[in-house]
Structure 1
Amino acid sequence: MVDFEPIFTISPAEAVARFLAERYALAAPLQCRMVRRGFNDTYRIVTARDERYIFRLSHHRARGAADVGTETDFLVHLARSGVPVAAAVRTPDGALFVRAQAREGQREGVLFHELQGRAPEATSLADAGANGVTLAKLHNAADSYSAPAPLYRLDLDHLLRRPLARIRKSGLLEDASAEAADLEAIATRTTERIEAHNELTWTHCHGDCHGSNACITEAGEAAFFDFDDGGPGYLAYDLSVFLWAKVSFGRKLHAVWHAFVDGYRSVRPVTQSDFEAAHAFVIVRHFWLMGEYASRTREWGTELTKWVAREGEFLRAWEREQLDGRLLL
């Protein structure tokens, strides 16, 4: 009997290697090392034949269980459509994902083929354009895809209203009533701006296309990974994530955003409504991230999450400079 029940556990690399050896047809012995801990735990696997894989073990998140069923099904569709993505590996019985029992409960895992290439450069116009091209190809393929039973829809409830509720619940806001009211007002205005566009495109989103969830191949193509925040949602939101990544937290990489849009438009047109809405969705994306961190306060502590309380100024500045009757970027 333990004195304290864990909120989360970290699985050692050797235990992960044993787990995978029992469930996949991989050439043993397996080399396994943890490469990242964040919203998920990620491990790199090398087999006796020097075959290389990435294993992602999902964390428990405030939104609920990881939608690995929809994610891996969409990846199969994308690969068949010629979109460069990190494909999931099937188990001998054909499953595209597995589940493991941890102390805190059941966790979902997916084994992926490791992509070959280099990490994108944050200021590279060519890499931004390549990201835009691949996202456009993804959306083209999504036109012929229908998720069988997605757990989540990337609508304003999922991306904005529930994250705002998590921020309020977290206790991170110093003057809870005033700051919460300010955030509530920003969220309301943003909702009204988005809902004023009555013809926004609905698609199946990557959900986290910020420029770094890609591998640049020798041919200069951007191959995508990390689809676990994806699902059916607004195309404008999928575009906005890249813009948000180039202008949030003090960044001013506007030229990189333009290169991304040019790359996207070289494959697929963007309606004026979707393009304009993408700028409002920058605020939605920031709320989403704030809510994700706020929901981890019990796990990560206040030092890693206290920045959430300072983000009202960025949101107000974006409204003032980009949305209130000014020219868009």
Structure 2
Amino acid sequence: MSQGQFTVVHSILDGADFIRKVCVHYPIGQVTECKLYKTGLHDTYLIITDTNQYILRVYRHHWQNQKAINFELKVLDFLRQHQQPIAYPLTRHDGKLMTEVLAPEGKRYVVLFVYPQGKVIKRKLDVVQSYLLGRSLANIHNYLDNFSHSYQQVTGVRKLNTRYLLDWSIKGISNVYPHLPEQIKFLKTTNLTLKRQIQQLNLPAIAPEFGLCMGDVHTGNVLFNNYNQVTWLDFEQCGYGWRIFDIAKFLQTSIEMKIDFEVRNCFVDGYQDVRELGDGELAAIPVFVKVAHIWMMGIATHMVGNVKGYADFDDDWLDTKLATLEQWSL
């Protein structure tokens, strides 16, 4: 006997429907194919036309709200207008940047992006590429100082503060590991220590030290072509915070990837060739590296039960992450 219809948490939508119901709203010509490319925090499809290729992103239901997505797209469109090297969204015939579709689990939002040229280099980053990335990030920060500040108070626009980066993250970790109270206690103690250190740094809350940040800066979110030209891919985590967090996020990921110290330093050198960091910002780097590490743990654990399964998050996962955190002495 049938048990009735089950609730859908996440569906994989048919590419043919995107051709018929979404792609027709864009000036891209005849679409010949729509292929599922990868899944994750959002589903990515490859759109192929007679003359070109595009990337179609389908945001997950309930992971990003409409205001946050709209904000991300406006930031990308602003940077496109200022000729910054980003993978930008295409505009529909009606001037909109996204399309709302009804999936079995509820509303989802769809955006069509240009197809970026180049290759992901991840841990193969060299000193020249690292330097160029640092320069590019600093230039983006400078341009974003001219982005409309009215968005800073809009509900739904991400604030890269300790409430989100630390408190929200530790809540996600605690929900997955309630049976490991000692480890959670260590995290909560670390949280308090980091907050106290950030407060003592007394970083300015005005530009250029504070402002709109990219959020998830790492070598997996950037492409290099054969001429070492950069294209940034992902602004999904963009929001307002201290710019030093963007630098620390790059360093945190690079350390975990075991990218050489010299290569990592070239990123900071490249950044400072465009905007010199203050003494307080330099002192804040090791603090925000730890913040970035906890934040990535938080994002991962918040995906458990929806994007990822529990099998990937055994006790060893947490112990390994905490061992790394302990190596970076407070």
- TM-score, with normalisation over the residues of structure 1? 0.89
CA distances 1:109-166 after superposition (whole Å, capped 9, x unpaired): 2111111222235232222122111101100101111253352111111111111111
2:203 aligned with 1:194, yes or no?
no
Deviation at 1:180, TM superposition (A): 1.3
What's the counterpart of residue 282 of structure 1?
Answer: 289
1:85-100, aligned counterparts within 5 Å?
Answer: 85-100=86-101
2:324 aligned with 1:314, yes or no?
yes
Identity over aligned pairs, percent:
25
2:17 aligned with 1:15, yes or no?
yes
What's the counterpart of residue 37 of structure 1?
Answer: 39
What's the counterpart of residue 162 of structure 1?
Answer: 168
What's the counterpart of residue 79 of structure 1?
Answer: 80
Deviation at 1:68, TM superposition (A): 1.6
Secondary structure, in 3 states, of the residue corresponding to 1:194? helix
Secondary structure, in 3 states, of the residue corresponding to 1:184? helix
The separation in 2 between residues aligned to 1:295 and 1:129, in whole angstroms, is 33
Deviation at 1:206, TM superposition (A): 0.9
What's the counterpart of residue 151 of structure 1?
Answer: 157
1:62-77, aligned counterparts within 5 Å?
Answer: 67-77=68-78
CA distances 1:22-41 after superposition (whole Å, capped 9, x unpaired): 33233123311122111111
1:90-239, aligned counterparts within 5 Å?
Answer: 90-123=91-124, 124-147=126-149, 148=151, 149=154, 151-170=157-176, 172-175=177-180, 177-200=181-204, 201-239=209-247
The separation in 1 between residues aligned to 2:186 and 2:122, in whole angstroms, is 36
Does 239-248 or 269-278 show the bigger shift?
A: 269-278
The separation in 1 between residues aligned to 2:118 and 2:132, in whole angstroms, is 13
CA distances 1:253-281 after superposition (whole Å, capped 9, x unpaired): 32221111111122221222122212211
What's the counterpart of residue 326 of structure 1?
Answer: none
- TM-score, with normalisation over the residues of structure 2? 0.89
Secondary structure, in 3 states, of the residue corresponding to 1:44? strand
Tell me how many residue pairs correspond in the alignment: 316
8 Å CA contact 2:158, 2:237 repeated in 1: no
Which of 18, 24, 28 is the equivalent residue of 1:26? 28
**Backbone CA RMSD of aligned residues:** 2.0
What's the counterpart of residue 272 of structure 2?
Answer: 265
CA distances 1:227-278 after superposition (whole Å, capped 9, x unpaired): 11111112011111110111126x2532221111111122221222122212
CA distances 1:193-221 after superposition (whole Å, capped 9, x unpaired): 11211124211111111122112134422
Secondary structure, in 3 states, of the residue corresponding to 2:323? helix
Deviation at 1:77, TM superposition (A): 1.6
> Structure 1: which 5+ runs fail to align?
324-329
> Structure 2: which 5+ runs fail to align?
none
Rate the CA distance shift 1:21–1:144 in 2: closer, same or farther, 3 A.
Answer: closer
The separation in 2 between residues aligned to 1:267 and 1:212, in whole angstroms, is 23
The separation in 2 between residues aligned to 1:18 and 1:159, in whole angstroms, is 40
8 Å CA contact 2:22, 2:99 repeated in 1: no
Deviation at 1:308, TM superposition (A): 4.5
8 Å CA contact 1:134, 1:223 repeated in 2: no
Task: Give structure 1 regions of 4+ aligned residues with deviation exceeding 4 angstroms.
Answer: 61-66
Does 299-308 or 37-46 show the bigger shift?
A: 299-308
8 Å CA contact 1:241, 1:282 repeated in 2: yes
8 Å CA contact 1:203, 1:233 repeated in 2: yes
What is the one-letter code of the residue matched to 2:228? G
Rate the CA distance shift 1:98–1:280 in 2: closer, same or farther, 3 A.
Answer: same
Does 144-153 or 267-276 show the bigger shift?
A: 144-153
Rate the CA distance shift 1:189–1:3 in 2: closer, same or farther, 3 A.
Answer: same
What's the counterpart of residue 302 of structure 2?
Answer: 295
Secondary structure, in 3 states, of the residue corresponding to 2:196? helix
What is the one-letter code of the residue matched to 1:309? L
Secondary structure, in 3 states, of the residue corresponding to 1:6? coil
What is the one-letter code of the residue matched to 1:208? D
The separation in 1 between residues aligned to 2:5 and 2:312, in whole angstroms, is 26
Deviation at 1:63, TM superposition (A): 6.8
Secondary structure, in 3 states, of the residue corresponding to 1:220? coil
2:54 aligned with 1:53, yes or no?
yes
Secondary structure, in 3 states, of the residue corresponding to 1:229? coil
What is the one-letter code of the residue matched to 1:34? L
What is the one-letter code of the residue matched to 1:105? G
